[in-house]
Amino acid sequence: MSGRTKSNRRLAMALSGFVAGMVGLAYASVPLYELFCQVTGYGGTPQVATVAPGPVSDKKIVIRFDANTNPKLPWKFKAAQTEMTVKLGEQTLAFYEAQNLDREDVTGTAVFNVTPLKAGPYFSKIECFCFTEQTLTAGQRIDMPVQFFIDPEIFTDPDTKDVTTVTLSYTFYPAEPEEKSVDAAEPDNKRKKS
Amino acid sequence: MANTAEAHHDDHDHHMPGFFTRWFCSTNHKDIGTLYILVSFIAAIIGGAMSWYIRLELAAPGIQYIDDFQFYNVLVTAHGFLMVFFVVMPAMIGGFGNWFVPLMIGAPDMAFPRMNNISLWLLVAGFILLLLSAVIGDGPGTGWTVYPPLSSQEYQPGPSVDLGILSLHLAGASSILGAINFIVTIFNMRAPGMTIHRMPLFVWAILITAFLLLLALPVLAGALTMLLTDRNFGTAFFVPGQGGDPVLWQHLFWFFGHPEVYIIIIPAFGIVSQIVSTFSNKPVFGYLGMAYAMSAIGVVGFIVWAHHMFTIGFDVSTRAYFTAATMVIAVPTGVKIFSWLATMWGGSIKFEVPMLYALGFIFLFVVGGVTGITLANASADLVFHDTYFVVAHFHYVMAIAAILAMFAGYFYWIGKMCGRKYPRGMAKLQFWVFFIGVNVLFFPQHFSGFAGMPRRIPDYPAPYEGWNYVSSLGALITMIGTILFFIIVWRTFYGEEAEANEWGEGATTLEWTVASPAPWHTHELLPDMTGKAPAE
């Protein structure tokens, strides 16, 4: 093989390696993206903590509780309280209620975030039903706890010191991927006229 | 002017392959370039027809022709994919790149001639799959951005989106292999004496574009594969209910998508540099600045993707960064614009048709570029996002500027490629018809967008009708300009014979030292460029 051919082959191999590396990075972005949001709190991603620092001052903030259910999950899901006023740093317990309206056992998972989105890094959850899948038997009703605190730094950060209300929002989805949806999809959904 | 040691090869006893071997199993960069241009022409007719149908519907409020809205969305989607992946990229990179990079650097062919052929046929296969996706099932009604959840199995059931994904996989593979080919060719096969800093700017442009392709396309491939498995194999990359995130698709797509638009425009920059230099009879002003401006645009183009996502709820600091970084790209771009003007200043300018197109490019790219600066502002973009203002912006820079550069390249190089001259008068007429047409078509869309007209809609409230009507008239004029172009293409084959250098002493690059049409094999003896003036 001539020197030129060898050199061409080597460069081509190196460039192909680059391509493979970029594909790898694309797939690596999946866990990295989740990790990035968890670490930085971007997008209203709450933090996870093990222990609250305890109330540091009398400064208070209002927490509101929002509950949503994906239409494919046959549950009634709501917050037990609309809002609470909490002290910064103080460990707080709140409840959500869920009831399975179906005649069969149904498993759901919850996704969650907080608004305003910039409050994400300062909302820390200690215990949450959202950490695990929940299975409810037919007709079963349960109370689900959320233990959290607000990091006192929220009022020292210039970007967030204007926050007076933080809303914690959950949406429950069915845990299994929808096999029904493909057949049941309305064929005329997309042909809707004005 | 370059001197070559190349002997005449007209009497070389090449065994010319038969028709099938020559055209279906080609390893010749010129023939492959010709085939890419042919693909581009066919796709342009189909993509253009789709756009004219869309403009026909949008000419007046109310629904007149397209009452199947899924079909309307499919038209919008297919139009976008066809123009980006099967018209502009094949013409500029596959077509002009293949034809002229080896010629300009004094190489006999590309580094991997067979892989070159694979790239071409992968593209053809991708093209066929895209057309199939539109006619099998309900068609992909997602827009070229294919955002989930709209693109999920639930909302676009059936095989159409999957066929579209596979089409893009093949087109992407075609471009990645082509990029490897160009990089190896340009790095390793320049003629003796042609150092990197003495090669023509068009070659620089293709080199930079190849690196962008290499870095951006694999990310698209990954994202497309994730969407494919989400749709068909139960994964949940973009499904929120199972821990996925639709916004991840947007990040991945636009990490590819923004460099993609530079992939489209940088070859155009290269073509314009060659033409402005030739028809000003002057070397391009600031060669190094031009080369490194293109490099800077390429590099910075990778760190601005989220300016396509300003409305998804980013943190204010994030939006501030992407606004600033996006505006930074205007700096090297400005260097290029001023350098082209400086090239013309003091030069002996000939307003031949390629030069008209190049001048049109410079002017209209600036118009499109400044609306990009407007959109770069995150706060303003909250109002403009997904309106016709965005549509106007990207059509100015892609549909007008890039297409003008493609026409410029065609008129500049067709004599070299087929040995015949285009009809001068008709080409000048075609330039003006097309120029007027595309401006009447797209300029009013700025006003519609400013007034809040959303994009990707088949119908609109009555107050938007005025500018929409004007825009559709522009589409009609553009269509006439396009038909004129194809008539010119036809007539060129019967035109006057072209000499080796039909443009005079302003044309200093190596392709003008070989006969017209270029012999099937060129530079079989490498030209010696040591000590010669840079063949820019």
pLDDT tens digits, B333-361:
999 999 999 999 999 999 999 999 999 99
CA distances to A3, B27, B104, B477 from A7, in Å:
6, 20, 21, 52
One-letter identity of residue B328: V
CB contact under 8 A, B316 and A159: yes
A161 exposure class (CB count in 10 Å sphere: 0-12, 13-18, 19+): exposed
Task: Give me the pLDDT at residue A133, please.
Answer: 86
Task: Give me the pLDDT at residue B14, please.
Answer: 62
Residue B92, both tokens: 């500029």
CB-closest option in B67, B153, B241 to A174:
B241
At what angle are helices B330-344 and B287-300 packed, to 10 degrees? 160
CB contact under 8 A, A23 and B179: no
Query: What number is the ipTM of this complex?
Result: 0.87
Is B260 a residue of the active site? yes
Task: Give me the pLDDT at residue B55, please.
Answer: 98
Average pLDDT, chain A: 87
Helix/strand/coil for A170: strand
Task: Give me the pLDDT at residue B211, please.
Answer: 98
Residue B278 has pLDDT above 90, yes or no: yes
CB-based contact, B311 to chain A, within 8 Å: no
Residue A188 has pLDDT above 50, yes or no: no
Helix/strand/coil for B129: helix
d(CA B162, CA B182): 30
Residues 6+ apart with CB under 8 A from B445: B388, B389, B391, B392, B395, B467, B471
Task: Give me the pLDDT at residue B13, please.
Answer: 55
CB contact under 8 A, A8 and B111: yes
Annotated active-site residue in B40, B167, B174, B387: B174
Task: With cut-offs at 50, 70 and 90, classify the pLDDT of residue A15.
Answer: very high
CB-closest option in B141, B226, B237 to A190:
B141
| CA end-to-end distance (rounded Å), chain B | 10
CB-based contact, A80 to chain B, within 8 Å: no
Annotated active-site residue in B29, B231, B319, B336: B336
A34 CB neighbours in chain B (<8 A) are 243, 245
Q: What is the mean pLDDT of residues B368-376?
A: 97
Residue B370, both tokens: 């400044």
Residue A10 has pLDDT above 70, yes or no: yes
How many CB atoms neighbour CB B193 within 10 A? Answer: 16
Q: CA angle, corner B319, sides to B314 and B321, nearest 5?
A: 135
Residue A132 has pLDDT above 90, yes or no: no
Q: What is the mean pLDDT of residues A112-118?
A: 92
CB contact under 8 A, A26 and B155: no
Residues linked to residue B10 through DSSP beta bridges, in sequence order: none
Average pLDDT, chain B: 95
Strand ranges for B157-297 from DSSP E: none
Residue B164 has pLDDT above 80, yes or no: yes
Task: Give me the pLDDT at residue A175, please.
Answer: 86
Instruction: State the best of A9, A18, A182 to mutate against chain B, taking most chain B CBs within 10 Å.
Output: A18
Helix/strand/coil for B411: helix
One-letter identity of residue B87: V
Annotated active-site residue in B151, B175, B323, B387: B175
Give per-residue burial for B402-422: e unless 16+ CB within 10 Å, then b. bbbbbbbbbbbbbbbbbbbbb
Under DSSP, the state recorded for B82 is I
d(CA B382, CA B394): 17
pLDDT tens digits, B519-535:
999 999 888 888 776 65
Residue B98 has pLDDT above 80, yes or no: yes
Q: What is the mean pLDDT of residues B212-219?
A: 97
Counting every residue written for chain A, the total comes to 194
Task: Give me the pLDDT at residue B243, please.
Answer: 87
Is B532 a residue of the active site? no
B223 CB neighbours in chain A (<8 A) are 26
d(CA A35, CA B238): 16
Residues linked to residue A119 through DSSP beta bridges, in sequence order: none
Task: With cut-offs at 50, 70 and 90, classify the pLDDT of residue B494.
Answer: very high
Q: Which of B100, B106, B87 is nearest to B271 (CA)?
A: B100
CB-based contact, A184 to chain B, within 8 Å: no
Task: Give me the pLDDT at residue B21, please.
Answer: 95
pLDDT tens digits, B197-211:
999 999 999 999 999
| Residue B523 C-alpha, separation from nearest chain A C-alpha, in angstroms | 16
Rounded percentage of chain A residues whose pLDDT exceeds 70: 90
Residue A171 has pLDDT above 80, yes or no: yes
Task: With cut-offs at 50, 70 and 90, classify the pLDDT of residue A189.
Answer: very low
pLDDT tens digits, B15-36:
789 999 999 999 999 999 999 9
Task: Give me the pLDDT at residue A52, please.
Answer: 86
- Chain centre distance of CA B303: 21
d(CA B27, CA B48): 31
Task: With cut-offs at 50, 70 and 90, classify the pLDDT of residue B438.
Answer: very high
Task: Give me the pLDDT at residue B370, please.
Answer: 97
Rounded percentage of chain B residues whose pLDDT exceeds 90: 93
Residue B536 has pLDDT above 60, yes or no: no
Task: Give me the pLDDT at residue B3, please.
Answer: 35
Annotated active-site residue in B36, B204, B262, B305: B262
B373 neighbors B427 (Cβ within 8 angstroms) = no
